[in-house]
A and B are shown apart, each in its own frame.
Chain A
Amino acid sequence: MSMDKETVRKVAGLARIQMDDAELETMAPQLSKIIDWIEQLAEVDTDNVEPLANVVNINLALREDKITDGDCADKVLANAPEDVQGFFVVSKVVE
């Protein structure tokens, strides 16, 4: 499968990565090569094989419904570029 420039532009947009035309031109063939390489996996016959979620036979761990965390607004906000009265402050996002 080859990734054309427009597909790379779309994927970059979804990932919020800004790329100019020159970068798209460079990236498209590189990404295509990576995908081609991975696509070799499609050659393996997986008919009648259940998807494998993990290689060791364990079940999903569950926890009791108890309040054991939170109440640490200072830690949560520690890396925020801007905060006011306990809120994160970001550029206006409303339409």
Chain B
Amino acid sequence: MAQLTKGKTGEWETVIGMEVHAQVIAESKLFSGASTKFGAEPNSQVSLVDAAMPGMLPVLNEHVVEQAIKTGLGINSQVNKHSVFARKNYFYPDLPQGYQISQFDQPIVGEGTIEIDLKDGTVKEIGITRMHLEQDAGKSLHDQHPTKSYVDLNRSGCALMEIVSEPDIRGPEEAAAYISKLRMILRYLGTCDGNMDEGSMRADVNISVRKPGAELGTRAEIKNVNSVKAVQQSIDFEVQRQIEILEGGGEIKQETRLWDPDKNETRSMRSKEEAHDYRYFPDPDLLPLELSDEQIERIRKTLPELPDEKKHRFMDEFGLSAYDASVLIAERPRADYYETVAKDRDAKLAANWVINELLGILNKNDQDIADSPISAENLGGMIGLISDNTISGKIAKDVFAEMYKSGKDAGSIVEEKGLKQVTDTGAIEAIVDEVLAENPDNVAAYKGGKDKLFGFFVGQVMKKSQGKANPAAVNELLKQKLS
């Protein structure tokens, strides 16, 4: 369902299309042999090709082409066997060539779709218009000197994939779900690390508003949107801004705006206006890129199980809810961890422990699943002990805390601390009798109709047994004795 925003003149629908730039995971750049490693000394990873010295020629990176094919297949899109590199002409100090080598009318990947998961549990398809390969620009620092800018070309020439969506996105939640899903797919594929802090994934958001059912409105393009949160905030701001202008009788100007995360606002980038005439033409230094069916099929065979497939398998194979499954598949290492825990065990119980307990404590301590002191095998072992009634769910929480602290396996902790559950009915019966004898008033009250006291008796028995009595046996015995 489209999310509508209420204005003074009624409701407005937000229409969003996104362009996501994702840096391709590769050792070297798109057209040169310089390193792509992040954080190196300025201009230390620049070849004379990247610096656009006269006479230098670009040579295409074969691995980047394969990464692009893999991505195209992963986002269910058409891989074009014939694509062409083109020059996009503009001047900026961090673009030494005076043009960016990109793809224009014949990109390597064409139309497709990805599915996004919304909070209400529904799934929506978002169309992909295209994906092309292009060079990244260098980086300018503006805060080092009052009247000068500093330029580092290390990023210049790194390979980017620009993934363009159809204007199918209808609000901040869908936009966030779209970029999160895209990031997840790229990380599963290993074609982009999705690290938005380091700029290896960046989004431009095209936003317009219209009355439901009306023609598309004029859009503004928001640049510099570098986190999922910024995507949502910039949309919220921009939608309000556009509605206020339209309801005040004004018109939206088609323009490029910059998101300012400190001030929480978008503002016009006037200088971009005139430069929008890019005069694309095929790059005479590069022949068209031809791919064969064999090459594409060979790469298709290397695709890992993708997030949506994994999600559906978890739901079918393990009987998990859509929500639990989507939490577990969010990161590939997390999904692998869960599968190890759940192997030959109670899969739903395993999901509860991984999601509620393990992810809970890891989040609290700002840790990743890779840093978990509890190995997947050990957590699985603990699930086994719960299932065969060696320990109760309650005792398991203590065992879990101890496992997190010491990294030991559940069996040895239970052994060392004597936490084995008492399932011997005789022993439990003795405790039950003791509790009933100590609380004659409550027994009388219970028999007089105060049903709620049942919980009190259970609590007392568990306390006396130091939590080790099997709760099912306790319930059973108490019911017998109190009837």
Contacts and interface: CB of A to CB of B under 8 A. Distances in A.
Contacts of B43: 73, 76-77, 86-88
B34 A67 contact: yes
A76 B28 CA distance: 17
B350 interface: no
B44 A63 contact: no
A75 B53 CA distance: 10
Interface string B256-292: 0000000000000111001101010010001111100
A62 B44 contact: no
A92 B151 contact: no
Given A72-B46, A93-B142, A62 B35 contact: no
Nearest to A93: B149
A84 B150 contact: yes
Interface string B131-157: 000000000111011111111110000
Contacts of B61: 62-63, 65
Contact of B279 (A14, A60, A72, A86): A14
Given A62-B60, A93-B140, A87 B150 contact: yes
Interface in A15-40: 16
A85 interface: yes
Interface stretch (B62-70, B203-211, B429-437): B62-70
B290 A89 contact: no
Contact of B63 (A64, A67, A68, A88): A64
B242 to A, nearest CB: 22
Nearest to B41: A86
A90 B138 CA distance: 13
A72 B153 CA distance: 12
A61 interface: yes
Interface in A43-71: 53-54, 58-71
B28 A53 contact: no
A68 B61 CA distance: 12
B245 interface: no
A87 B154 CA distance: 10
Nearest to A89: B148
Given A53-B288, A60-B60, A87 B28 contact: no
A92 B59 contact: no
Contact of B59 (A61, A70, A76): A61
B269 A13 contact: no
A27 B447 CA distance: 108
What interface size band does chain B fall in?
35 or more
A84 B144 CA distance: 11
Contact of A92 (B34, B35, B45, B148): B148
A41 interface: no
Contacts of A54: 287
B33 interface: yes
Nearest to B290: A59
A82 B186 CA distance: 40
B421 interface: no
B150 A70 contact: no
A52 to B, nearest CB: 10
A75 B48 contact: yes
B239 interface: no
B16 interface: no
A58 B287 contact: yes
A60 B44 contact: no
A71 B144 CA distance: 24
A60 B64 contact: no
A70 B275 CA distance: 31
B27 interface: yes
A86 B44 contact: yes
A93 B142 CA distance: 8
Interface of B: 26-28, 32-35, 41-51, 59-65, 84, 89, 91-93, 140-142, 144-153, 269-271, 274-275, 277, 279, 282, 286-290
7 contacts: A16-B91, A60-B290, A62-B60, A66-B33, A69-B33, A75-B48, A88-B153
